[in-house]
Amino acid sequence: YAGEKTELIIGDENLIREFTTLNPGTAGGRGKTIIGDRNLFMAYTHVAHDCIVGSDCVLANNATLGGHVELGDYVNIGGLTPLHQFVKVGSGCMIGGGSVLVQDLPPYCLAEGNRAYIRGLNKHRMRKLFSREEIDEISHIYKFLFSRNAPIRELAQAQLESNPSHTIRYICEFILSSTRGIPFRGANNG
């Protein structure tokens, strides 16, 4: 833009289709946009400045990432779906087509709607990544976090104190680090 040093870093084996735009970082951001490996960017997708896209993600036609968005690995974003700037999406998530995501989406969730909210877990992806026992553990923690009348941050912190597995730790730390809130329908979204 003004001669500053910025980068667009693209990993290996990505498929980038027609009319896709991938923007470099900015001096006001991290200075880099980083794309992992084996992603599919279908036609007319857009990745704005300073984004981080993990590996093995699929962005369907016209999916749009605002600036500073972060996607974990194995994220699927349906067509015609914008993600607001600074949104973070955990690994293994799926966002339905025609949705609008304006809050952080914890790992392994399925979200949909305009404004998107969590509809359940992305069991399809989870079956490819985890054993039956691990899926049951993840399902149990989400029921615990989203069906209580206590603030979700307090529940996540309590889980961290119980020395959980790596996956449960990732989920709880994601929730605790959220700056945009978690998109679910319930009284404990604090």
Residues 6+ apart with CB under 8 A from 132: none
Q: Known catalytic residue: 84?
A: no
Which one of 54, 67, 90, 92 is the catalytic residue? Answer: 67
Question: What are the C-alpha distances in Å from 47 to residues 57, 119, 172?
Answer: 13, 25, 27
Which one of 25, 46, 50, 72 is the catalytic residue? Answer: 50
Of 39, 77, 41, 40, residue with least CA distance to 55: 39
Q: Residue 148: count other Cβ atoms within 10 Å of its Cβ.
A: 14
Q: Residue 167: count other Cβ atoms within 10 Å of its Cβ.
A: 20
Q: Known catalytic residue: 49?
A: yes
Which one of 25, 46, 49, 90 is the catalytic residue? Answer: 49
Q: Known catalytic residue: 12?
A: no
Query: Annotated active-site positions, please?
Result: 49-50, 67
